Structure 1
Amino acid sequence: MEKVKLIRLASPTDASVLDRLNEEFNGGRMPLEEIEYSLQQSDEIVAIAYLGDEPVGFACAQSFKSFCYRELVGEITEMYIQERARRQGLAGMLLVFLEEQLIARGVSTVKVLTGHCNRQAIGAYEKSGYKREDEVLLEKELG
């Protein structure tokens, strides 16, 4: 029997789940109070993916406005699905969920950044209609 798949917005009560999933994804831990505060105060959209009763992934998106552009711009900043839950459509469901949230905010274009070698993620994004752009990311540590 196939397990039920569910995507929902995260709430401050999900801090420990998000901390655990983010540690698997990014290798770092955050104080639960900081996660709770961020979920309460930030405009970031944070979604959790469930397979049955188990939280197995999350994704984050933000929208922002610049005087350089007339429209709001959306960006998917993070997406993680546990290995055991991959290839079951959850990444696509997370993308649709985030896109709906961004559309409700007035966003008409969404960007996502991922590594060149992250073939699974690139495949999931392309399957959901995202197109590759020829851009270069430059980064600098401050301080």
Structure 2
Amino acid sequence: MIRLVAKEDAEQLFLLNKAFNGPQETSLEEVKKSLTGNQQEIVVVAEADGRIVGFICVQIKQSFCYSDPSAEITEVFVLKKHRRKKLASQMISFAEAYCAQYVSIHSITLLTGKENFQAQALYHSLGYRKEEEQLLSKYL
């Protein structure tokens, strides 16, 4: 089942994020706080056998420069044993439909690794296309 996250999902999301990003990224308390207080993030989960087995995060951004908000998919994760079941594409499609209907966005962007060819193939199959922009980062 694909659905929006609920605050009761915090512990399962914490464990999934630990598997995805490593043990030092966040705490269970931070996950709980984010699920109840972060109005700029939409989290969609995939559930199988009563457990959350995947999630995606969508960040909603609003700037005075543009009349409509924009969205970026910042995280996509499915447990290894549940991959190749179209859960990631179902979560992305769910998030796109939700954002189009309830947030009034007209496009979504995402970032993936240059060498992550499997993810790139998934995103291309869903209609995402490579942009000719350069990502720059600075760590503070």
TM-score norm. by structure 2 comes to 0.91
Matches for 1:29-44 after TM superposition, within 5 Å = 29=24, 30-43=26-39, 44=41
Shift, 1:91, TM fit: 0.9
Shift, 1:86, TM fit: 1.1
Equivalent residues of 1:12, 1:35 under 8 A apart: no
- Answering whether residue 124 of structure 2 is matched by residue 126 of structure 1, we say yes
Residues 12-66 of structure 1: per-residue CA shift (max 9 Å, x gap): 2111111111111111352222111111010210111122323211000021111
Distance, in Å, in 2 between the alignment partners of 1:51 and 1:12 is 18
Distance, in Å, in 2 between the alignment partners of 1:95 and 1:9 is 12
- Answering whether residue 23 of structure 2 is matched by residue 25 of structure 1, we say no
Aligned residues: 137
What is the aligned partner in structure 2 of residue 78 from structure 1?
75
What is the aligned partner in structure 1 of residue 85 from structure 2?
88
Q: Counterpart of 1:68 in 2: which secondary structure?
A: coil
Q: Counterpart of 2:23 in 1: which secondary structure?
A: coil
Residues 67-103 of structure 1: per-residue CA shift (max 9 Å, x gap): 2222211111100011111111101100011112211
TM-score norm. by structure 1 comes to 0.89
Q: Counterpart of 2:113 in 1: which secondary structure?
A: coil
Q: Counterpart of 2:97 in 1: which secondary structure?
A: helix
Distance, in Å, in 1 between the alignment partners of 2:113 and 2:59 is 19
Q: Percent identity?
A: 39
Q: Counterpart of 2:99 in 1: which secondary structure?
A: helix
